[in-house]
Amino acid sequence: MVDELLIKRIRAGDEDASEILVRKYYLQIMRFCRWQCGNADLAEDLAQETFLKAFKSLDQYRMKGHFKAWLFLYSIAKTSSIVKSVLSVWIMQSPPIFFIMELMFFSPMPLLELSST
């Protein structure tokens, strides 16, 4: 079934149409989320959140372009915000590693040692 027709039915309150649309794109969105975050459980949560947010914002979809692309934009926003927050927590919990890497790769000390030989 064509996405635009499903969206019109969803806007009219047809829950079966929303289920059809979720089944049509869920696996693709979930795989994309898994590729983005690297965790299957988190990817399922992100995929569900993507659809919830998309359906809540369905009135903003102007039916220009493909619905799939619009849905992926929500997925990108959701996964990137989660990945950034997880990464920032990891960085905050592991500062010595980054400090050592900074000393190894960005410190002028190795350059001084090389120039003195």
Q: Are 57 and 40 in contact (CB under 8 A)?
A: no
Given this structure, which CATH class describes domain 3-92? mainly alpha
Say how far apart CA 79 and CA 50 lie, in whole Å: 9
pLDDT single digits (tens) 57-110: 888 888 777 888 888 887 887 777 776 666 555 555 555 555 555 555 554 444
Q: What is the pLDDT of residue 86?
A: 61
Residue 102, pLDDT score: 54
User: Tens of pLDDT along 2-37?
Assistant: 888 998 999 899 989 999 999 999 999 999 888 887
pLDDT at position 2: 87
Residue 98 makes CB contacts below 8 A (sequence gap 6+) with 91
Domain boundaries, the chain: 3-92
Confidence check: pLDDT of 43 > 60: yes
